[in-house]
Structure 1
């Protein structure tokens, strides 16, 4: 096997044909002199990649094609494994690739202890030809950078329920039985589920606080994460009732707080001090996480959108994120989110390969606090590794 180590900084150019030297590509003019085998177009050597989001950038020189499809696959190989796994894949019509001057990039998430290669294959017949091919990795690993805590290249063991929905936006009424992306309404609190989680002593809390707590716990339960051994993180969350309910069900929960805030008291929850904006890279390997108002405290809806996307790095592949954000019904204020901001979050997450529960926009009988703001919950799952 060909394994290529990376330079400490900057982009890394890879030999597209190093893995199978001498073999000709299905794209005329590329590769070696030997006969092409199967659908082979190119295969880079395996390389060590910096943890986090990275890209393989592909550029075909003088590409010409009217038929055929290019199948791009990122292969990953962990220490001790004999066979590579598929990290991600994309298909692009070759004539469409011609229209963008032969350039394409493939996004993937890299983990510690794993090496990666990019494979290109041809689906169907093709008349493609090119003068040359360049493949560049944008984030090679720095061999001098060592971290005590690293992200694990394995899917969460929890969460059997899918978020897949036929529509991104829906007019269907939302409930707290199976939370989706939804606004806080009074009707939802009248159901059995809300009383089940936060009845009794918690009846004295405000309706909006009860809705937020019920939404978080119900989402964790409904999607299969409220189970003994599931590891969760509350990011700068002050509502102890949520921690108490999750730990009572056997979850292993951490309260992640910024350095300027005091730890929670009396809940028996372990507290970790870590930067949240940006999120510390040491906050990793959680099966689920949640926030309550954190995104709105970042100062703008744009900053909140960036945080929600970045927070996915704290989850194991397939992990669940539940965000409760301040919602402005008027859409006039700066910090809280309006409907357009929520739709943008959903589109960004989906474009990154994650799953987002449909946004039910029914706003009849919104629960509104003294400051004129309501709340919206967002449920999303990190893209799982392909097994």
Structure 2
């Protein structure tokens, strides 16, 4: 158990009446635990409020690392967030998972980005060492992907201003003009029975077009997919000579990390009731270990609903080989709609910046067509 107010001792929290009685110089401050050292491996922080009530406000929680004696400031590791006026989300609490390294200490720092009227009777923060680092896994990094002829280039501007093109995909939303492009019509014809609404057809077709454009639909490429709807692309991958698996574990949004010794999956073209295989990723030969491309349908929205979008996607992409490409299809929220779990534009921008800081290249963001209504959006990344 960590003391939520053991770092800035005596300072009052933005969530009243928690903390001390001395007014904090930072009006955003909610809590800050002491720095604690763990063994190298996976650690989880669990946060839960007692009887919290609020009508507005967002709490962000950063996990920071500090190396004693280094003379350097603390560095950001990962983060999560929760809307304090969302009673169901507050009741679930926050679970933040990260990998600790030798010699570093870790703390949780909570702050309310734009103020809050939240009140609570208490806050508990637990820290647990889930597992220590697996030496065999840690000493066998993934080899770079041999694929990816159409390399994803870092844009000079993160956000695009010109209309998006289906033929030359970046990170973009659906637009009516894309539905008229010849490349979309070709994919629509290839999808056959899996063609549904324009939004459903575009989601599948865009994922395939992005993987082809960035050189991943090539014989021998190996992919991993999250989301049962990915099965519609099994014929596309087979025609291209790729192999693809469907992950059967739920996308990671809390304690659980990738089980490198027993990764539950099945072939993408297998029947839904076929037996699940436990793939020993850690024991595979170096040239077979990991995946060249990754596709997820809806995982980012689940992560956003849980307050852990970046953590979830980063954990999923831990099995992606360097130079591999990930395509995350998500629902982007518009100004006039509020579908639960849909990501606001600002959240997608923050997510892109976080992923850039964690060793990924992000295809330029283009939000045209998603100003007012919820729209499907494809986020395209390369692991550097």
User: TM-score w.r.t. structure 2 length?
Assistant: 0.57
Bigger radius of gyration, 1 or 2? 1
**What residue number does 1:194 align with?**
184
Alpha-carbon contact 2:161-2:366 (below 8 Å) kept? yes
Choose from 326, 338, 343 the match for 1:337: 343
Shifted more, 162-171 versus 226-235: the winner is 162-171
Structure 1 residues 224, 59: CA separation in 2 closer, same or farther (over 3 Å shift)?
same
Matching of residues 17-166 of structure 1 within 5 Å:
101-103=71-73, 136=103, 145=134, 152-160=141-149, 161-166=151-156
Distance in 1 (alpha carbons) for counterparts of 2:132 and 2:298: 38
**Counterpart secondary structure, 2:143:** coil
Matching of residues 279-290 of structure 1 within 5 Å:
285-290=290-295
Distance in 2 (alpha carbons) for counterparts of 1:338 and 1:282: 40
**What residue number does 1:374 align with?**
375
Structure 1 residues 206, 262: CA separation in 2 closer, same or farther (over 3 Å shift)?
farther
Give 1:242 deviation, angstroms.
Answer: 1.2
Matching of residues 237-276 of structure 1 within 5 Å:
237-258=228-249
**Counterpart secondary structure, 1:244:** helix
Matching of residues 202-351 of structure 1 within 5 Å:
202=193, 204-258=195-249, 285-298=290-303, 300=305, 302-329=307-334, 330=336, 332-351=338-357
| Alignment RMSD | 4.5
**Counterpart secondary structure, 2:308:** helix
Give 1:307 deviation, angstroms.
Answer: 1.3
Alpha-carbon contact 2:164-2:366 (below 8 Å) kept? yes
Alpha-carbon contact 1:59-1:104 (below 8 Å) kept? no
1:359 pairs with 2:384: no
Alpha-carbon contact 1:289-1:322 (below 8 Å) kept? yes
Alpha-carbon contact 1:185-1:363 (below 8 Å) kept? yes
1:182 pairs with 2:187: no
Q: Kindly provide the CA deviation profile for residues 224-254 of structure 1, in whole angstroms up to 9, marking residues without a partner as x.
A: 1111111101112324221220122011100
Distance in 2 (alpha carbons) for counterparts of 1:176 and 1:154: 31
**Counterpart secondary structure, 2:349:** helix
Unaligned 5+ residue runs, structure 1?
A: 1-8, 13-48, 62-100, 108-134, 367-371
Distance in 2 (alpha carbons) for counterparts of 1:168 and 1:144: 35
Give 1:137 deviation, angstroms.
Answer: 5.2
Distance in 2 (alpha carbons) for counterparts of 1:154 and 1:216: 24
Distance in 1 (alpha carbons) for counterparts of 2:296 and 2:305: 16
Alpha-carbon contact 2:295-2:328 (below 8 Å) kept? yes
Distance in 2 (alpha carbons) for counterparts of 1:350 and 1:106: 13
Distance in 2 (alpha carbons) for counterparts of 1:144 and 1:305: 22
Alpha-carbon contact 2:326-2:381 (below 8 Å) kept? yes
Give 1:196 deviation, angstroms.
Answer: 1.6
Give 1:336 deviation, angstroms.
Answer: 1.1
Structure 1 residues 151, 186: CA separation in 2 closer, same or farther (over 3 Å shift)?
farther
Alpha-carbon contact 1:219-1:379 (below 8 Å) kept? yes
Distance in 1 (alpha carbons) for counterparts of 2:200 and 2:325: 21
Q: Kindly provide the CA deviation profile for residues 156-205 of structure 1, in whole angstroms up to 9, marking residues without a partner as x.
A: 11113123111111111112212211111121121111112221635852
**What residue number does 2:47 align with?**
none
Distance in 1 (alpha carbons) for counterparts of 2:211 and 2:228: 15
Unaligned 5+ residue runs, structure 2?
A: 1-35, 44-63, 78-101, 107-128, 252-263
Structure 1 residues 209, 332: CA separation in 2 closer, same or farther (over 3 Å shift)?
closer
Alpha-carbon contact 1:163-1:380 (below 8 Å) kept? no
User: TM-score w.r.t. structure 1 length?
Assistant: 0.56
Distance in 2 (alpha carbons) for counterparts of 1:11 and 1:259: 27
Give 1:258 deviation, angstroms.
Answer: 3.1
